[in-house]
């Protein structure tokens, strides 16, 4: 009890010194007020639309079940099967808020997620407060934390739940740098690096790239003078990344197989060529952020997360700072970031020059803009606030009126007039209020209270209304959505040899069921290779394939809410609405023996519509591996004979089923199967290839043949007991790296204190 009392007294002392708890509670309350309408609408369920409903919720439910069930190596509910850490490391596993949700049953997640969102907003405000407090008084730092936490970037990205984790912890990186650069304190930067690298490796890479610019603007371009600081930053960066190795290393290895990384920004897109892009940039700087899936003006949609908006004050106080402190390091950094946003080539720097051209790094300059704004608030007599606000308000009014005129007389510019007028009016009203509060020379306390009240009000309104508009875009009510998920969770896969023919995450991931596809960009790289070989493109959605693809992938079952005569119902579930798990047409089990092969070079010449049918007949073998398998399989010559056509699909499926797996057991570390054959041949498994697999046939290790991204192994005549064992080597190496790095970090901290 004495130790508990001592700890509580220490917390109270720190709270009295810093005010972090008050900042957390205030911003948690603001977030609660923002999300309360959605919670009331959903009877406690927090539901939006698009990616939030179809990805974020199912991902967290799957991770919850997998962690508690020990299925954390190879997970069969992620597309055709994928590495668990790599597939969910980007979305879930690095988030402390996600791990907090694991304290509850997975089926409760739709009720829990709204409260987690509130905590993310509150933590973002607290960490920003810790950073801003190094440059300004606490009360202004607290207000700046709210500007950062409730910025337009946060609002437009509400459907991307995991983005808010990066926003919440990014200021820790800058706090660590400032402690090292200004106070010479070691270890804080490494810890900030560790936290951000664990939370989300994608955003961490962007944060490191931003830190380079931050360093250059903060310290100057004369690097030789800062060589000691550079060395210390580099060492702490390496140490912090190593501390995060348990997730960072396996995630980087996994992502390197993703073909999207190789798509670089083409030269023709290095600069914007349309006026709409520049109009969009001006609008994102001045007005509240909009829905990505339904822009009210300029563009119909924009998935790039493009918004700079600060609640109420918009860009007004930032402009004041830029005018009066032109040579200041902060002004240089803000101007550099704004310029980079308007030039695609420079913007792609933060995405390692990929062709996506996302603006998902803007929360970092937003923190800098929040700092500039609160510094102006703190020293308002030094800045031309009234003049800047008046000019900005006039420009915004002209822009709004011009947009309506342009849409009426030239070509449509406004997509949703009502929404556009609301957001435009909100942005304009905020600047006018800032101007109004600036009139006169009242006491500083009154000025601060007026500005604070306005900013808090706008923070709640812009966040709440954006969430409401996103919720209006949902294709079903919260209750229908939740009942549907609960019904799906009652289903069980009747036979592990087959899958459910679906790509619906709310069916498969939320219920931990195996399917033939998914809606996620984070799957094993060999899955991308498979669809590329089939002549299809897979970016985020599993594509609809040609005849034979469902059968090849073992998609024997399907779920429907409406049965017809002839449907073979296996299970049913649901209350108000009943769903049925049905057995469909014949499909090839996961694991079947083949007599024929076809060279990869020949396969690629087959029309895409026939490639699935071809794989039902023969194994596709890389040309350089033909000698390895030619003694067991016969080269297929039915193409020239015209045998390869859609009408043969059912016949080929029956052939595959004759000597297919009679037993199949999925494990968290691989799978086991039994196949009986009349002679030596090869077995094809519709399981994505991964370097972590080792295969054994009748106790003997055999070489795994990679065939169009899937796997095949040689069989003996008679009964074959096949075992595939999976080891996540990058995860093991990452765990070892984390252990060693934390020991080194402890030594660094100890040497500093002594």
**580-616 pLDDT, tens digit each:** 999 998 999 999 999 999 999 999 999 999 999 999 9
**Contact by Cβ (8 Å): 527, 538:** yes
Residue 427 shares a structural domain with residue 540: no
Q: What's the rounded Cα separation, in Å, for the pair 437 and 659?
A: 81
Residue 402 shares a structural domain with residue 533: no
**Has residue 512 got a pLDDT over 80?**
yes
Q: What's the rounded Cα separation, in Å, for the pair 263 and 257?
A: 13
Residue 391 shares a structural domain with residue 536: no
Residue 4 lies inside a defined structural domain of this protein: no
Single out the residue in 440, 472, 504 at which a domain terminates: 472
pLDDT of residue 1: 45
pLDDT of residue 427: 96
Residue 34 lies inside a defined structural domain of this protein: yes
- Ranking 13-17, 87-91, 383-387 by mean pLDDT, the lowest is 13-17
- Ranking 249-253, 621-625, 679-683, 746-750 by mean pLDDT, the lowest is 746-750
This prediction has a pTM of: 0.93
For residue range 31-48, list pLDDT tens digits in order: 999 999 999 999 999 999
Residue 318 lies inside a defined structural domain of this protein: yes
Residue 750 lies inside a defined structural domain of this protein: no
Single out the residue in 472, 494, 517 at which a domain terminates: 472
**Has residue 170 got a pLDDT over 60?**
yes
635 is written with which tokens?
Answer: 């080269």
pLDDT of residue 7: 45
Range 466-470 average pLDDT:
96
Residue 166 shares a structural domain with residue 262: yes
Range 626-643 average pLDDT:
85
| pLDDT > 90 fraction of the chain, expressed in percent and rounded | 78
pLDDT of residue 41: 95
| pLDDT > 70 fraction of the chain, expressed in percent and rounded | 96
Unique residue bearing structure tokens 């080792």: 694
Count of domains forming the chain = 3
pLDDT of residue 685: 97
- Mean pLDDT of the residues in the chain: 92
- The residue with greater pLDDT, 753 or 572, is 572
Single out the residue in 472, 501, 522 at which a domain terminates: 472
**Has residue 673 got a pLDDT over 70?**
yes
DSSP state string for 226-291: GHHHHHHHHHHHHHHHHHTHHHHHHHHHHHTT-GGGG-BPPGGGSS--SHHHHHHHHHHHHS----
Residue 426 shares a structural domain with residue 558: no
Residue 2 lies inside a defined structural domain of this protein: no
**Has residue 578 got a pLDDT over 90?**
yes
Residue 564 shares a structural domain with residue 633: no
**Has residue 477 got a pLDDT over 70?**
yes
Residue 266 shares a structural domain with residue 149: yes
Count H helices and E strands in the chain, helices first: 31, 18
**Has residue 8 got a pLDDT over 60?**
no
DSSP state string for 587-607: ---SSEEESEEEEHHHHTTS-
Residue 743 lies inside a defined structural domain of this protein: no
Residue 201 shares a structural domain with residue 254: yes
Residue 1 lies inside a defined structural domain of this protein: no
**Has residue 391 got a pLDDT over 90?**
yes
Residue 654 shares a structural domain with residue 711: yes
Residue 541 shares a structural domain with residue 658: no
Q: In the structure, what pLDDT confidence band is assigned to residue 272 with cuts at 50, 70 and 90?
A: confident
Rg (alpha carbons) of the chain, rounded to whole number: 29
**Has residue 530 got a pLDDT over 90?**
yes
Q: What's the rounded Cα separation, in Å, for the pair 348 and 180?
A: 29
Q: In the structure, what pLDDT confidence band is assigned to residue 4 with cuts at 50, 70 and 90?
A: very low
Q: Which residue from 369, 389, 382 is spatially nearest to 437, judged by alpha carbons? A: 389
Per the structure, the complete domain to which residue 573 belongs is given by 478-583
**Has residue 722 got a pLDDT over 60?**
yes
Residue 316 lies inside a defined structural domain of this protein: yes
Give the pairing type, strands 568-573 and 592-594: unpaired
Q: In the structure, what pLDDT confidence band is assigned to residue 123 with cuts at 50, 70 and 90?
A: very high
pLDDT of residue 441: 67
3-state helix, strand, coil in the chain (%, to 5): 60, 10, 30
Residue 337 shares a structural domain with residue 485: no
pLDDT of residue 113: 97
For residue range 332-364, list pLDDT tens digits in order: 999 999 999 988 888 888 888 777 778 999 999
Residue 279 shares a structural domain with residue 251: yes
Phi, psi torsion values for 648, nearest 5 degrees: -85, -5
**Has residue 11 got a pLDDT over 80?**
no
């Amino acid at each position: 009890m004495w130790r508990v009392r001592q700890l509580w007294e220490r917390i109270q002392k720190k709270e009295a010194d810093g005010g972090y708890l008050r900042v957390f509670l205030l911003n948690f309350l603001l977030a609660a007020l923002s999300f309360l309408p959605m919670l009331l609408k959903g009877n406690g369920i927090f539901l939006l639309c698009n990616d939030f409903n179809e990805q974020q919720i199912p991902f967290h439910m799957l991770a919850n079940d997998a962690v508690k069930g020990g299925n954390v190596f190879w997970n069969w509910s992620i597309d055709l099967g994928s590495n668990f850490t790599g597939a969910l490391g980007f979305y879930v596993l690095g988030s402390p808020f996600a791990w907090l949700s694991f304290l509850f049953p997975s089926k409760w997640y739709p009720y829990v997620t709204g409260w987690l969102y509130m905590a993310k907003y509150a933590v973002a405000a607290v960490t920003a407060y810790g950073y801003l407090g190094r440059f300004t008084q606490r009360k202004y730092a607290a207000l700046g934390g709210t500007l950062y936490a409730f910025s337009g970037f946060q609002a437009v990205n509400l459907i991307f739940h995991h983005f808010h984790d990066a926003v919440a912890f990014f200021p820790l990186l800058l706090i660590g740098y400032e402690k090292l650069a200004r106070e010479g304190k070691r270890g804080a930067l490494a810890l900030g690096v560790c936290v951000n690298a664990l939370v989300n490796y994608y955003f961490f890479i962007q944060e490191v790239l931003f830190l380079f610019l931050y360093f250059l603007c903060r310290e100057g371009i004369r690097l030789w003078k800062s060589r000691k600081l550079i060395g210390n930053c580099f060492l702490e960066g390496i140490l912090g990344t190593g501390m995060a190795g348990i997730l960072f290393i396996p995630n980087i290895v996994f992502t390197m197989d993703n073909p999207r990384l190789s798509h670089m920004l083409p030269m023709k897109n290095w600069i914007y060529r349309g006026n709409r892009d520049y109009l969009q940039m001006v609008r994102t700087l001045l007005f509240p952020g909009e829905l990505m899936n339904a822009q009210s003006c300029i563009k119909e949609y924009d998935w790039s997360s493009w918004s700079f908006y600060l609640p109420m004050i918009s860009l007004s106080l930032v402009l004041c700072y830029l005018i009066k402190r032109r040579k200041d390091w902060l002004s240089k950094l803000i101007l550099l970031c704004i310029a980079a946003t308007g030039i695609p080539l420079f913007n792609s720097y933060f995405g390692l020059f990929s062709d996506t051209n996302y603006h998902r790094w803007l929360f970092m300059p937003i923190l800098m803009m929040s700092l500039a704004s609160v510094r102006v608030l703190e020293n308002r007599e030094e800045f031309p606030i009234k003049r800047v606000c008046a000019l900005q308000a006039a420009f915004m009014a002209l822009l709004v009126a011009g947009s309506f005129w342009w849409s009426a007389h030239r070509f449509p510019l406004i997509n949703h007039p009502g929404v556009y007028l609301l957001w435009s009016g909100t942005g304009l009203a905020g600047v006018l209020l800032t101007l109004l509060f600036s009139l006169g020379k009242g006491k500083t306390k009154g000025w601060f209270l007026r500005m604070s009240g306005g900013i808090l009000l706008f923070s709640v309104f812009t966040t709440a209304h954006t969430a409401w508009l996103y919720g209006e875009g949902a294709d079903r009510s919260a209750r229908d959505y939740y009942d549907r998920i609960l019904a799906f969770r009652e289903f069980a896969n009747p036979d592990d040899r087959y899958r459910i023919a679906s790509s619906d995450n709310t069916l498969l991931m939320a219920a931990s069921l195996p399917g033939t596809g998914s809606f996620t960009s984070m799957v094993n790289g060999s899955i991308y290779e498979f669809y590329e070989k089939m002549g299809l493109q897979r970016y985020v959605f599993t594509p609809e394939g040609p005849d034979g693809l469902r059968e090849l992938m073992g998609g024997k079952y399907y779920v429907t809410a409406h049965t017809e005569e002839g449907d073979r119902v296996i299970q049913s579930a649901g209350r108000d609405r009943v769903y049925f798990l049905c057995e469909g047409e014949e499909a090839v089990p996961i694991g079947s023996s083949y007599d024929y092969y076809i060279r990869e070079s020949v396969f690629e010449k087959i029309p895409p519509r026939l490639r699935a049918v071809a794989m039902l007949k023969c194994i596709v073998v890389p040309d350089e591996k033909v000698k390895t398998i030619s003694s067991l399989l016969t080269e297929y010559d039915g193409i020239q004979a015209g045998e390869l056509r859609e009408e043969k699909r059912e016949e080929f499926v029956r052939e595959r089923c004759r000597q297919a797996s009679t037993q199949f057991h999925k494990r968290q570390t691989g799978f086991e199967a039994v196949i009986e054959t009349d002679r030596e041949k090869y077995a094809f498994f519709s399981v994505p290839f991964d370097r972590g697999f080792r295969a054994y046939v009748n106790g003997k290790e055999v070489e795994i043949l990679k065939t169009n991204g899937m796997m095949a192994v040689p069989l003996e005549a008679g009964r074959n007991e096949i075992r595939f064992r999976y080891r996540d080597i990058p995860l093991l190496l990452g765990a070892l790296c984390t252990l060693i790095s934390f020991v080194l970090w402890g030594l660094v901290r100890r040497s500093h204190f002594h």
